[in-house]
Amino acid sequence: MSLLEVRDLKVHFPIKAGTLLQRTVGAVKAVDGVDLDVEAGTTFGLVGESGCGKSTLGRAIMRLTEPTSGSVTLDGQDILALGERKMRAVRRQFQMVFQDPMASLDPRQSVESLLTEPLRAHKIPGGSAGHAKRIRELLDVVGLPESVVHRYPHEFSGGQRQRLGIARALVLNPALIIADEPVSALDVSIQAQVINLLKELQERFSLTYVVIAHDLAVVRHISKTVAVMYLGGIVEQAPAADLYKQPLHPYTKALMSAVPVPDPNVEESRSRILLQGDLPSPANPPSGCRFHTRCPWKQATKCDTDRPALRELPLVAPGHKVACHYAEDILAGKITPHDVRPEDVELVPAGETTSGTEAAADATEAHVAGGLTPGGPPGAH
Ligand SMILES: Nc1ncnc2c1ncn2[C@@H]1O[C@H](COP(=O)(O)OP(=O)(O)OP(=O)(O)O)[C@@H](O)[C@H]1O
Ligand code: SF4
Ligand SMILES: [Mg+2]
């Protein structure tokens, strides 16, 4: 059974205009109709290039960002329907691990204080002695010595700090952990240690993870299922091995073709799919298939008018889903890639007012400031 079920989740950030920003002239569609299921005790990997909506989706699942519409069900409970008091109690069940633990750990608090705070806030019984015992156990499970209890976050290395971030996420025995780029700020050698730690903890405590990364390699070995996100939607989702063996969506094919293969013979004979054009703005996403402005397989009908649903194909592995009208024909080699002339993606709908234009331009700036890397596939970073 799924521990987490997400249905048609949308997060649209309003674009305001006017002197007092009182008019809403559009929306940044950061997450725009996402369905996903995460089985208890497994890892769901979520990949996609910068700005595609991964963090917003993670935050919306935890209601750290309020979704615009859709549903999020955790262990059978519709959490978007909960009032503030009930939501506070449910919050214990899910925790987040961040890319930069310094941003989430108060630098003025010692390790002891950082780890005791959630126990006190949720009135966990045991008193000071019980809490101190729990902290010693936690430090042990994340591989930190007991002696660090009186130290402060800035005294740790990046890897140790992430271990501390993981310890804090574990304090309340959560069922679900959403790890947003948990290793992307760490050296490559340390990345493997932290990924291995997450794996060990999952086995030991039957944890369920959603691991967000822009790097396909990070999620490959830890995930049961991997989903690829593009411009606010999931374009492909499959058991990890199947996705890497047989990517079906043109966008996934392009991402995979950018990841180097360790075998030099295979590497030399591989053909790269270089994506043309920038990632369009989520303030004005392309019509139809969001990928049609960059897709080398784009066809004259349907691609720019109908948004394809995420669907399972009959002839591929069970659970392998793809959002492409022509997935069967691409798989069978009936249609082949062609050159792409990047279409100009309008920033504002025709007829929009001047202030609307400014607002949309602002939104585009905000989106660039949010770390968008035009055209850069995750594997290439
Ligand atoms: N609070 C906000 N208000 C307006 N727009 C936002 C807000 N938060 C995020 N966005 C926009 O939503 C889009 C998705 O952002 P998000 O941070 O979820 O992407 P991401 O996939 O996590 O990117 P990265 O890999 O860089 O972390 C971006 O265009 C971003 O600028
Ligand atoms: S629906 Fe069309 S544009 Fe979209 S990925 Fe498939 S072929 Fe490409
Ligand atoms: Mg992010």
Instruction: Calculate the CA dihedral of residues 8, 11, 15, 20 and round it to 10 degrees.
Output: 120
d(CA 140, CA 84): 34
Question: Distance from CA of residue 345 to its chain's centroid?
Answer: 25
Ion ligand 3: residues, CB within 5 A, are 55
* DSSP codes of every residue in 227-276: EEEETTEEEEEEEHHHHHH---SHHHHHHHHTSPPS-HHHHHH----PPP
Ligand 2 atom nearest to 304, measured from its CA: 3
Of the listed ligands, the closest to the CA of 214 is 1
Distance 57 CA to ligand 1 centre (A): 9
d(CA 229, CA 214): 10
Distance 48 CA to ligand 3 centre (A): 10
> According to the model, what pLDDT value does residue 105 have?
84
Rama region for 72: left / alpha / beta (φ>0; ψ in -120 to 50; rest): beta
> How confident is the prediction along the chain (381 residues), in pLDDT tens digits per residue?
799 999 999 999 999 888 888 888 899 999 999 999 999 999 999 999 999 999 999 999 999 999 999 999 999 999 999 999 999 889 889 999 998 877 878 889 999 999 999 999 888 998 999 999 999 999 999 999 999 999 999 999 999 999 999 999 999 999 999 999 999 989 988 999 999 999 999 999 999 999 999 888 889 889 999 999 999 999 999 999 999 999 999 999 999 887 777 767 766 766 778 787 778 999 999 999 999 999 999 999 999 999 999 999 888 889 999 999 999 999 999 998 987 765 544 444 433 433 333 333 333 333 322 222 223 333 333
d(CA 326, CA 335): 8
* DSSP codes of every residue in 340-366: --PPP--SS-TT--HHHHHHHHHHHHH
212 CB-near residues (< 8 Å, 6+ apart): 46, 47, 54, 55, 57, 58, 178, 179, 180, 181
Ligand 2 contact, 292 CB (< 6 A): yes
> According to the model, what pLDDT value does residue 348 have?
40
Domains and CATH numbers, the chain: 2-236 (3.40.50.300), 250-376 (no CATH)
> According to the model, what pLDDT value does residue 373 have?
27
Of the listed ligands, the closest to the CA of 296 is 2
Ligand 2 contact, 297 CB (< 6 A): yes
Residue 210 β-bridge partners: 44, 178
Ligand 2 contact, 247 CB (< 6 A): no
Of the listed ligands, the closest to the CA of 61 is 1
Ligand 2 contact, 289 CB (< 6 A): yes
Q: Whose CA is nearest to atom 30 of ligand 1?
A: 367
Phi, psi of 364 (to 5 degrees): -65, -40
d(CA 335, CA 338): 9
Q: Whose CA is nearest to atom 1 of ligand 2?
A: 324
Of the listed ligands, the closest to the CA of 283 is 1
Ligand 2 contact, 195 CB (< 6 A): no
CA–CA–CA angle 58, 239, 39 (5° rounding): 55
> According to the model, what pLDDT value does residue 143 have?
95
Ligand 1 contact, 119 CB (< 6 A): no
Classify residue 316 by its DSSP letter: S
* DSSP codes of every residue in 42-94: -EEEEE--TTSSHHHHHHHHTTSS--SEEEEEETTEEGGG--HHHHHHHHTTE
Phi, psi of 26 (to 5 degrees): 170, -170
> According to the model, what pLDDT value does residue 314 have?
81
